Structure 1
Amino acid sequence: MPMESIINPIVYERADPWVYRHSDGYYYFTGSVPGYQSIELRRGKSLNDLRDGDTKTIWQAHESGNQSQLIWAPEIHFIDGKWYIYFAASNDEEVRDRTRHHRMFVLENTSEDPFTGTWEEKGQVVTAFESFSLDATTFQHQGKLYYVWAQLDPIVPGNSNLYLSEMSNPWTLTGKQMLLSIPEYDWEKIGFMVNEGPAVIKRNGKIFITYSGSATDENYAMGLLWADENENLLDPYAWHKSAEPVFASSEKNHQYGPGHNSFTVLPTGEDVLVYHARPKKNDFADPLNNPDRHARAQVFTWNEAGFPVFGEPIADELGKE
């Protein structure tokens, strides 16, 4: 049993939640802030502390240019003794076409404490072709740093695919950029043809990548990719893909459109899925303008074959003692 009961939502109105538990004992949290004009960092000694814990706005959108609008899905990572935040942003002259103009950017902080020091802009992460791109994450494996992200390829039908590349440093890609996954199953193509929001967890001799598909309403759901940890990760034949979503809306628990997840651990070592979901089916013309995607967390298990078992989104427990 978990050491503590997680009380959901852990943070209100924060879509695309990212949680990282650091060696200092803090859980660091970031996510998309309604209005999409800033990057906020939170921390707490427990997941329950994040709702009312230390909070700081560490970066504001530019007044104009390609980092001025629609600041989406920041993630905080600790790489080789430095802090990095990956995020996507759009150009203020083109914001009406939300499916085309995002690019990916990086902030760096060399301070031991990410609530202090200076967040320096390291610029855009440049990919093999210039197009709509977002939702980057990184992971280290066998001495190499990898980057996984979502991007539109104008010659591939759909809105975004997943790509994988090695990095020469935390803001520069190097070598082959591999097409990892495209929206191919019906559940990935409702409203929009989307693969986005990748997150990586390494367990049981495998590299697992979760991702999200379809429009950001109640049809949003999570999929799963995996490869053996000793395979060449830049070989597309090393990767396998579940034909069915592994985490989806729960009518019973009134949780809709779960996805864009991250992973963390409890002090007891249990794995935790962090994700956003809506408390009801979306009733806004544009789901992105509906701020009711709340950050949630729940413990998950592993089956005998070594694969994650996420179950279904649990009901809200706000007020539980």
Structure 2
Amino acid sequence: MTVFPNPLIEQRADPYIHLHQDGWYYFIASVPEYDRLELRRAQTLEQLADAKPVTIWRKPENGPMSHLIWAPELHFFNGQWVIYFATAHSPEIKEGLFQHRMFALTCNDADPLSGNWIERGRVITPLDTFSLDATSFAYQGKRYYLWAQKDPEVYGNSNLYLAELENAWTIKGQPVMLSKPELEWETRGFWVNEGPAAIRHGGRIFITYSASATDENYCMGLLWAKDGADILDASQWHKAQKPVFGTARHNRQFGPGHNSFTQTKEGDDVLVYHARNYTEIEGDPLYDPNRHTRIKTFTWDEQGMPVFGEPLGDNR
């Protein structure tokens, strides 16, 4: 298994890496200023570290997309590029929550770094509440949208929801709640399920997600369902009772999470995540810029479950 240089990219949280059919790796993440969307690409994962970032969108001065650009993801389906991200009309916190909603951009050009990006507006969900961390995946010929959102009827900050997509920026039908924070390790500091990512392997579909506050308590949980299941039926999903990835004090890796998945060119599965290498945070952890992007390979056990191991220490 490859041991990658870590941190791979400093001061980039909520990292997402897409290996495209053109053989390039594309990288997008939250920037510390939370004011723009940057893309970079490279022929290898390691080369992303020094690849030049290109700003493809910058927030307006006011309006619904004018503050705190969080957790962008780059997808390609139905012949077009799509970026999902969350943003707010104000930095104000109301009743303990930011004001984020989810938005989409699309690009029909071959090169997303130089192409024309079109604002598609807000991705509307039945609840008009704090929502963020959208991702998308294909399953049995359909395209799905997976995200985190506050439900006023459920205690906590956010739960995980799934819906089919009608097009890249429009959900279809009624969303289903797949998970809510209820276990002890999901409720440290804040009651949070967020940052979902989907991967298929060995006859199952898996969803990882992140839980608790964004300090050293941040960790990853796991949901899974059998291939062929009706994934919009919440009863088809199983939930791991313990975190599958978390703080490793002896490696000085704290609060790993908000992951995505990619692969090496050789086909090894790669976990993409952020973590800090210290715990001494002054003020709101969201404004501490040192959640660095890190990557590591992972394996699968004899039962077909992912084995993420532990976050490796800094080696550069």
What TM-score do the two structures reach when normalised by structure 1? Answer: 0.96
Query: Is the 8 Å Cα contact of residues 10 and 48 (structure 1) preserved in structure 2?
Result: yes
Q: Quote the offset at 1:282 in angstroms.
A: 3.8
Among 92, 96, 99, which residue is 1:95 paired with? 92
The one-letter code matched in structure 2 to 1:106 is: A
Cα displacement (A) at 1:284? 1.6
What is the CA distance between 1:70 and its match in structure 2? 0.5
Identity of aligned residues (%): 53
- Report the alpha carbon displacement of residue 204 of structure 1 after superposing the two structures with TM: 0.6
Q: d(CA) in 2 for partners of 1:122 and 1:43?
A: 24
Segment drifting more, 259-268 vs 43-52: 43-52
Deviations 1:15-35 (A, max 9, x none): 000001111111100100011
Match of 1:273 in 2: 271
Amino acid of the residue matched to residue 75 of structure 2? H
Aligned counterparts, 1:150-189, within 5 A: 150-189=148-187
How many aligned residue pairs are there? 315
Task: Provide the C-alpha distance between the structure 2 equivalents of 1:35 and 1:107, rounded to a whole number of angstroms.
Answer: 20
Between stretches 97-106 and 207-216, larger displacement belongs to 97-106
What is the letter of the counterpart of residue 179 of structure 2? S
Uncovered stretches (5+) of structure 1, i.e. residues with no partner = none
Question: Take 1:283 and 1:267, find their aligned partners in 2: how far apart are those partners?
Answer: 37
Partner of 2:113: 115
- Residue aligning to 1:293: 291
Alpha-carbon distance in 1 for matches of 2:104, 2:280: 31
Show the counterpart of 1:8. 6
Q: 2:216 aligns with which of 218, 222, 233?
A: 218
Cα-to-partner distance string for 1:94-150 (whole Å, 9 max, x where unaligned): 534471410000000101111121010011000011000000000011110001100
Deviations 1:185-223 (A, max 9, x none): 000001100000000001111110000000000000000
Secondary structure in structure 1 of the residue aligned to 2:235: helix
Q: Deviations over 1:257-284 (max 9, x none)?
A: 0000000000110000000000111422
Paired residue for 1:126? Answer: 124
Q: Which residue number corresponds to residue 196 of structure 1?
A: 194
CA contact under 8 A between 1:273 and 1:297: conserved in structure 2? yes
Deviates more, 1:199-208 or 1:46-55: 46-55
Deviates more, 1:45-54 or 1:295-304: 45-54
Partner of 2:304: 306
Match of 2:65 among 64, 67, 92: 67
Tell me which amino acid in the other structure corresponds to 2:27.
Answer: F
Amino acid corresponding to residue 284 of structure 2 in structure 1: D
Q: AA paired with 1:261?
A: N
* Corresponding residue to 1:209 among 190, 207, 213: 207
Change (3 A) 1:241 1:109: same
Between the aligned partners of 1:26 and 1:220, the Cα distance in structure 2 is 31
Distance in 2 (CA, whole Å) between partners of 1:305 and 1:128 is 37
* Aligned CA distance change for structure 1 residues 82 and 242 (closer, same or farther; 3 Å): same
| Separation (CA, whole Å) in 2 of partners of 1:176 and 1:229 | 21
The Cα of 1:238 is off from its aligned counterpart by 0.5
Q: Give, as a single letter, the amino acid of the residue that structure 1 aligns with 2:140.
A: Q
Runs of 4+ off more than 4 Å: none
Tell me how far apart the structure 1 counterparts of residues 145 and 135 of structure 2 sit (CA, whole Å).
Answer: 6
Paired residue secondary structure (1:258): strand
Give the direction of change, closer, same or farther, for the CA distance of 1:80–1:270 in structure 2 (3 Å limit): same
CA distance in 2, matches of 1:212, 1:300: 17
Displacement after TM superposition at 1:54 (Å): 3.0
Q: Is the 8 A contact 2:9 2:49 kept in 1?
A: yes
CA contact under 8 A between 1:69 and 1:95: conserved in structure 2?
no
CA contact (8 A) 2:93 2:99 kept: no
Contact in 2 for aligned 1:200/1:210 (Cα 8 Å): yes
- Mapped to 1, the partners of 2:73 and 2:314 lie a distance apart of 24
CA distance in 1 between counterparts of 2:33 and 2:135 reads 22
In structure 2, how many angstroms separate the alpha carbons of the residues matched to 1:34 and 1:100?
17
Following TM superposition, by how much is the alpha carbon of 1:51 offset from its aligned partner in structure 2, in angstroms? 1.4
Is residue 149–residue 163 contact of structure 1 (8 Å, CA) maintained in 2?
Answer: yes
Greater mean deviation of Cα atoms: 155-164 or 42-51: 42-51
Q: Which runs of 5+ in 2 are unaligned?
A: none
Pick from 223, 227, 230: which aligns with 1:229? 227
Aligned equivalents of 1:169, 1:270: Cα separation in 2: 31
